[in-house]
Amino acid sequence: MPKIKELLVDMYNCEGNLNDEEYLCGVLEAAAKHAGAKILQKIVHRFSPVGRSVILILAETHISIHTWPEYKYAALDIFLCGEGKNPEDAWIIVKNSLKPRRFKTKMIERIIG
């Protein structure tokens, strides 16, 4: 049966600008490419006064980030199906870009069918 891996990451005290959706899109796009994923759609929502949601729909499922700049916190989900695809490959790019001082990861394996 095919498997999907979903990596959930809580990022604390991020150095990167969590309120800049263009920057966040660029980070997620680079992350998706580094994991060998194909980007199909990009969705952005700007919250007022601060906070952004960016979601990439991938051929291999999705990557999402929701940010709370007032807490320097972001919630990242990297959800990838497909042989040889590894969410860790995307996470390393996000980590090196947003530079959280502390983070918590949780890997979930989901079995299709």
Amino acid at 67: T
Is 107 one of the binding residues for a copy of itself (CB under 8 A)? Answer: no
Half-sphere exposure for 95 (CA within 13 Å, toward CB): 17
Is 80 one of the binding residues for a copy of itself (CB under 8 A)? Answer: no
Other Cβ atoms less than 10 A from the Cβ of 113: the count is 4
Which residue, among 68, 113, 64, 110, has the nearest Cα to 90 in the 3D structure?
64
Measured from the CB atom, the residue of 4 and 30 that comes closer to a copy of itself is: 4
Measured from the CB atom, the residue of 55 and 92 that comes closer to a copy of itself is: 55
All residues at 6 or more sequence positions from 59 whose CB lies less than 8 Å from its CB, including other chains: 37, 38, 40, 82
Tell me the window of 14-22, 23-31, 60-68, 94-102 that interacts with a copy of itself (CB under 8 A): 60-68
| Separation of CA 21 from chain center | 13
Segment 8-47, which members bind a copy of itself (CB under 8 A)? 8, 10, 12, 40-41, 43, 45, 47
The residue ranges that bind a copy of itself (CB under 8 A) are: 1-2, 4, 6, 8, 10, 12, 40-41, 43, 45, 47, 53, 55, 57, 59, 61-62, 64, 66, 68, 71-73, 75, 77, 79, 81, 106, 108, 110-113
